Structure 1
Amino acid sequence: MRIMIISDAWLPQVNGVVRSITETVRELRGFGHQVALITPLGGETDDGDGFATLPCPTYPDIRLSLFPYRKVAQRLAAFAPHAVHIATEGPLGLAAQRWCRRHGQPFTTAYHTRFPEYIHARTRLPLAISYAWMRRFHNRAQAVMAPTPAIVADLKARGFHNVVLWSRGVDTRLFSPGERERLDTAQPRFLYIGRVAVEKNIEAFLRLELPGSKWVVGEGPQLAELKAKYPEVYFAGVFPQHELARFYRAGDVFVFPSLTDTFGLVLLEAMACGTPVAAYPVAGPLDVVGASGGGVLHQDLRTACLQALTLDRDQVRRVAEGYSWTAATRQFESHLCPRPLGEQEGMAFTPGGGR
């Protein structure tokens, strides 16, 4: 099957959306599917034929494509996909949706990010306004893939249609227990890895009175502010995945203060390295960690941090071993909505026109 995936989030961004897509594409190709991508770079690599972009307001690391419809239509027409998956709600996703609706091509979408809450945290825009727009975008899809049962239930309660579960996985070979010498600071070592931005609620972690030392690994728009405000915290910047595994292993507790993440791949990565999680009992941690023994969830994050120190790292690792990208991608594959077989071959598309 020819599968086209469209995403406004792509390299060099380092986040859960990009990670989920790259791992899913790798698995789909392993299943024998032909997969193509439309991203701000143009394709999977910067081939010089990408889109003109501008930085997203309040978040310059994210690039928004300008007037992308013509190129998006050309690439969709040339590929003639059997199935289309729109991963993000940005300009590329909107352009792809427009083409699909014009040509009668079924498509699926994904709810990766609580954008209404993120926008509210930055601009105070009422949630009702942004959720209305999100419903309009996603309710045109044949299936809306959400990462946890709690998010599926929440979206259904908010009026989203055809919401289905698409879980996530972790590379347990890369993220695995091993030497723990990466962080040469006072123990216990409490660690955060991820985007440094206001919606991640990182200050809830940094202002805690905890023994030992605190580490933040990652970059984002709030980095300079937090470095100035918390000089006692170690800020390490961005690292490739194999180096991240060394950070995870060296941590005594992985602290996840977010209240708005839909899943949190970093939870699985930390647990796969044997490092227990401390988090709030909210969607994401409740589904991924819960009462599994992989971490401690508590309304008092300090309590969660201190109790997590007592957990057995071998048991923490076993929790992560229950997740795989192969199983998650089979789930993704089962939700795709290919064009009826009689219409899949021999079609000539014209961008912006009929068939």
Structure 2
Amino acid sequence: MKILHIGKYYPPIEGGIEAVSHFIVQTLEEHDQLVITFNDRNATIKETIGGVDVIRASSALTVASQPISLSYGVEIIKAIRSFNPDVIYFHYPNPLGALYLLMAIPHHCRLIVHWHSYIVAQRILHRFVMPLESRLLRRAQSIVATSPRYAEASRPLRHNSHKVSVIPCSIDEALFELSPSDHQQVEEIKHRYEGVPIVYFIGRHVEYKGLQYLLQAERMIPDECVILIAGHGPLTRRLQESCTSPRVHWLGRISEQEMKYYYHAADVFAFPSITRNEAFGVALAESMYCGCPSVTFTVNGSGVNWVSIDGETALESPNGDPEALARAISSLLRDPSLRTRMGQNAVTRVKNFFSKHATRDKYRQLISECQSRTFSDIKPLQI
């Protein structure tokens, strides 16, 4: 079977959706596949990654997180004509890609829409793309949501609930296993901070990640600890200027290998995201696999509080409440047995639900079921 994957970006460009897209392509390796994405610069390139052809369409600019490119539409149309896919696997949000796709997709071609998130921050823009989203979901044979909570809370998905399958994001467990030399690196991190308990954050420094609330909470944590902040983003400088505490350490961008070391060295993983832009929380699952209990906010309609369970693998606080977040961190810092129990629960949960082994067969089954569905209720869409 021929499968055309269409998304915003693709590795080695980093990101949660990009990692999911790559994993799906790897999982479906027995099929003939082609990937079309935007490039992160103004040039169209064609390359082969892991035996799969990848076309990166030139992109001149980005508006409201949407890359803008005429070449992207041209490449989609050319691929549909020449590659002649049986199934198109489309990653959303990507309104411009959805427009191009609906203009070009033939009636016989099956469509899977992977609904990572709907547009949260750009509310005015979302009013304009809602009709496009509705057409995209009507045209789809199958829709993938990353958690049951997100599917239940998303109105567009509720209207198409008969098509929705829940397939969680997954992590590559092998990336987080420790070799003997890795253990030494973890111990060196602990020694660097003189054995003081470590609270760890990693993520883009953007509004919805809630890092500002973690910095506010730090002032209210009476217990001895250090707070290590990895990552970078548009808010980095402002956040650094607002925080003068000597126990907050800014790590900047770190490698995948370093990320693993810090997950294992941490006593508490801070995941203070505040909106449904955080649809799942891959970093949360990664920290859980490394046996680290987490603190989170209650994010209604997000998968965050389904990934890590309050009282089982995490302590959950009312959304945007730094004082409550500080109390949750203190509770974990003061109770090693609680940390151990939650950490063990976290490892088990990831193995059962969010490992590659747990999700691989779900994607294969999805493709098989999509292939067998009929088109009697699908009408061509006029754009």
Q: Which residue does 2:174 correspond to in 1?
A: 173
2:234 maps to 1:221: yes
- Number of aligned residue pairs: give it: 333
CA distance in 1, matches of 2:130, 2:158: 9
Written as runs of structure 1 = structure 2, the 5 A alignment for 1:297-308 is: 297-299=316-318, 300-308=324-332
Q: Which residue does 1:185 correspond to in 2?
A: 193
Cα offsets for 1:254-313 (capped at 9, x unmatched): 111112211111111001111111101332222111147322222222233223343213
Residue 219 of structure 1, CA deviation: 2.2
Secondary structure of the structure 1 residue equivalent to 2:139? coil
Q: Tell me which moved more, 190-199 or 159-168.
A: 159-168
Secondary structure of the structure 1 residue equivalent to 2:200? strand
CA distance in 2, matches of 1:118, 1:335: 30
Written as runs of structure 1 = structure 2, the 5 A alignment for 1:89-100 is: 89-90=93-94, 91-100=96-105
Q: Which residue does 1:353 correspond to in 2?
A: none
CA distance in 2, matches of 1:185, 1:257: 23
Written as runs of structure 1 = structure 2, the 5 A alignment for 1:93-242 is: 93-100=98-105, 102-115=106-119, 117-120=120-123, 125=124, 131=130, 133-156=132-155, 159-161=158-160, 162-176=163-177, 178=183, 179-182=186-189, 184-185=192-193, 187-208=196-217, 209=219, 210=221, 211=223, 212-232=225-245, 233-242=248-257
Secondary structure of the structure 2 residue equivalent to 1:144? strand
Q: Tell me which moved more, 87-96 or 200-209.
A: 87-96
CA distance in 1, matches of 2:81, 2:131: 30
Instruction: Give the superposed CA RMSD.
Output: 3.0
Residue 153 of structure 1, CA deviation: 0.8
Which of 36, 58, 63 is 1:52 aligned to?
58
Secondary structure of the structure 1 residue equivalent to 2:227? strand
User: Is the contact made by 2:145 and 2:151 (CA closer than 8 Å) also made in structure 1?
Assistant: yes
Residue 247 of structure 1, CA deviation: 1.7
Q: Which residue does 2:351 correspond to in 1?
A: 321
CA distance in 2, matches of 1:168, 1:44: 26
Residue 234 of structure 1, CA deviation: 2.1
CA change 1:68–1:148 in 2 (3 A) is same
CA distance in 2, matches of 1:134, 1:6: 16
CA distance in 2, matches of 1:63, 1:194: 21
CA distance in 2, matches of 1:327, 1:35: 23
2:38 maps to 1:37: no
Q: TM-score, length-normalised on structure 1?
A: 0.82
CA distance in 1, matches of 2:144, 2:373: 23
Q: Which residue does 2:380 correspond to in 1?
A: none
Q: Which residue does 1:347 correspond to in 2?
A: none
Q: Which runs of 4+ in 1 moved over 4 A?
A: 42-49, 126-133, 156-159, 337-343
Q: Which has the higher contact order (CA 8 A, sep 6+)?
A: 1
Structure 1: tracts of 5 or more residues without a match: 344-355
Structure 2: tracts of 5 or more residues without a match: 40-44, 319-323, 376-383
User: Is the contact made by 2:308 and 2:346 (CA closer than 8 Å) also made in structure 1?
Assistant: no
Secondary structure of the structure 1 residue equivalent to 2:176? coil
User: Is the contact made by 2:92 and 2:118 (CA closer than 8 Å) also made in structure 1?
Assistant: no
**One-letter amino acid matched to 2:8:** D
CA distance in 2, matches of 1:246, 1:13: 22
The alignment-based identity, stated in percent, is 20
Q: Which residue does 2:285 correspond to in 1?
A: 268
2:16 maps to 1:3: no
**One-letter amino acid matched to 2:361:** R
CA distance in 1, matches of 2:281, 2:370: 29
Cα offsets for 1:186-241 (capped at 9, x unmatched): 62221111121112222111211234222221122222222222244322222332
Residue 132 of structure 1, CA deviation: 5.4
CA change 1:342–1:194 in 2 (3 A) is closer
Secondary structure of the structure 2 residue equivalent to 1:98? helix
**One-letter amino acid matched to 1:237:** G
Secondary structure of the structure 2 residue equivalent to 1:258? coil
CA change 1:153–1:340 in 2 (3 A) is closer
User: Is the contact made by 2:113 and 2:137 (CA closer than 8 Å) also made in structure 1?
Assistant: yes
CA distance in 1, matches of 2:18, 2:347: 24
User: Is the contact made by 1:281 and 1:297 (CA closer than 8 Å) also made in structure 2?
Assistant: yes
